[in-house]
């Protein structure tokens, strides 16, 4: 089991382009928006980046690992025949996927801890709220890992899977209210975007920040995230291709 974990860890860092992008991009965006916030004169009507920048960085960490470096790697392993080969070992297919995903979980937890430390240091997050933020991050990661398994489990091309994963990452980010507040959008558009699972996740992250206010009850947001996770896991189980020749 430990050997398989190390195998997946090596596989994760082998594609340096996507690995380093997923690892560092959230911190890069954090720095960019904090710099913009420092340069823009504060006053009535000016955006407060300190409340949104950390949830945005956490969202990017979640989706970068769960989508960009998961969907493409699953498609690549199937293309090389590794999924079929390793799935026939005594470890079984379930443990194969579990170890593959566990490496991503460790990576995101490490990113989240670093971002939480930054948030506490800059006064954007109360220390007492840190465990809740970490828990929400893990819940969101589980949801998007299920989505990544659906994408990587169906698309035959690693590049297509990676590109689609990146498209889903950016689409959910921009439609979640983290980059553009939903109250700035037309009511009809905002009403549709508010029912997206990614918006519920963003609301959970934003509500944990200092002076943050939840749009939805916490139990409802967690229920939507859990239900979405279960739905995509079911789809992944039913549609996953273990061999390139599978229909």
Contact 62, 173 (CB under 8 A): no
pLDDT tops 60 at residue 247: no
In this predicted structure, what is the pLDDT of residue 225? 97
Closest CA to 107 of 54, 140, 61, 150: 61
Q: What percentage of residues in the chain have a pLDDT greater than 90?
A: 49
d(CA 203, CA 218): 9
User: Which long-range contacts link 92-99 to residues 24+ away (Cβ below 8 Å)?
Assistant: 93/242, 95/1, 95/4, 96/4, 97/149, 99/1, 99/4, 99/5, 99/7, 99/8
Mean pLDDT to the nearest integer, 217-233: 96
d(CA 51, CA 62): 18
Least confident of 95-99, 102-106, 122-126, 131-135: 95-99
Tell me the pLDDT of the chain averaged across its residues: 87
Mean pLDDT to the nearest integer, 173-178: 91
d(CA 105, CA 229): 15
In this predicted structure, what is the pLDDT of residue 64? 93
pLDDT tops 60 at residue 120: yes
Q: Which of 27-41, 93-107, 149-163, 223-237 has the highest mean pLDDT?
A: 223-237
Those residues with Cβ within 8 angstroms of residue 219's Cβ, 6 or more apart along the chain or in another chain: none
Confidence bin at 141 (pLDDT 50/70/90): very high
d(CA 222, CA 136): 8
- Higher pLDDT pick, 36 / 202: 202
d(CA 167, CA 24): 18
Confidence bin at 173 (pLDDT 50/70/90): very high
Confidence bin at 115 (pLDDT 50/70/90): very high
Confidence bin at 228 (pLDDT 50/70/90): very high
In this predicted structure, what is the pLDDT of residue 45? 57
- Higher pLDDT pick, 158 / 243: 158
Write down the domain spans for the chain.
2-239
Between helices 92-121 and 49-63, what is the axis angle to 10°? 160
Write down the residue that tokens 């293309």 correspond to: 79
Using CB atoms within 10 Å of the CB of residue 21, give its burial: 0 to 12 exposed, 13 to 18 middle, 19+ buried: middle
In this predicted structure, what is the pLDDT of residue 211? 82
Mean pLDDT to the nearest integer, 117-137: 93
How far is C-alpha 139 from the chain's CA centre?
A: 10
- DSSP assignment of 176-222 equals TTSSS-GGGS-HHHHHHHTTSHHHHHHHHHHHTSTT---SS-HHHHH
pLDDT, one tens digit per residue, over 13-68 is 777 778 888 899 999 999 988 887 777 666 565 556 677 899 999 999 999 999 98
Closest CA to 201 of 226, 183, 181, 179: 226
> Could you tell me the pTM of the whole model?
0.90
Mean pLDDT to the nearest integer, 164-174: 94
d(CA 84, CA 111): 32
In this predicted structure, what is the pLDDT of residue 183? 81
Contact 37, 50 (CB under 8 A): yes
Q: What's the full length of the chain, in residues?
A: 247
d(CA 93, CA 77): 13
């Amino acid at each position: 089991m430990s050997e398989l974990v190390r195998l997946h860890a090596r596989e994760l860092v082998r594609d340096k382009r996507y690995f380093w992008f997923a690892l560092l991009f959230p911190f890069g965006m954090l720095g960019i928006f904090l710099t913009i916030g420092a340069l823009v004169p504060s006053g009535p009507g000016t955006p407060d980046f300190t409340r949104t920048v950390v949830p945005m960085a956490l969202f990017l960490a979640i989706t970068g690992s769960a989508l960009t470096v998961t969907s493409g790697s699953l498609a690549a392993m199937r293309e090389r025949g590794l999924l079929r080969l390793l799935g026939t070992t005594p470890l079984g297919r379930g443990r194969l996927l579990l170890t593959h995903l566990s490496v991503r979980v460790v990576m995101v937890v490490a990113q989240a801890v670093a971002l939480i430390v930054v948030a506490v240091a800059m006064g954007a997050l109360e220390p007492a709220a840190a465990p809740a933020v970490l828990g929400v991050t893990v819940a969101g990661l589980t949801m998007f890992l299920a989505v990544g398994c659906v994408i990587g489990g169906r698309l035959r091309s690693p590049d297509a899977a990676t590109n689609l994963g990146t498209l889903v990452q950016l689409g959910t980010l921009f439609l979640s209210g983290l980059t553009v507040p939903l109250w700035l959008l037309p009511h009809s558009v905002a009403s549709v975007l508010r029912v997206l699972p990614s918006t519920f996740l963003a609301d959970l992250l934003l509500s944990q920040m200092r002076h943050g206010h939840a749009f939805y009850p916490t139990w409802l947001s967690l229920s939507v995230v859990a239900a979405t996770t279960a739905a995509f896991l079911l789809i992944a189980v039913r549609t996953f291709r273990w061999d390139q020749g599978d229909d």
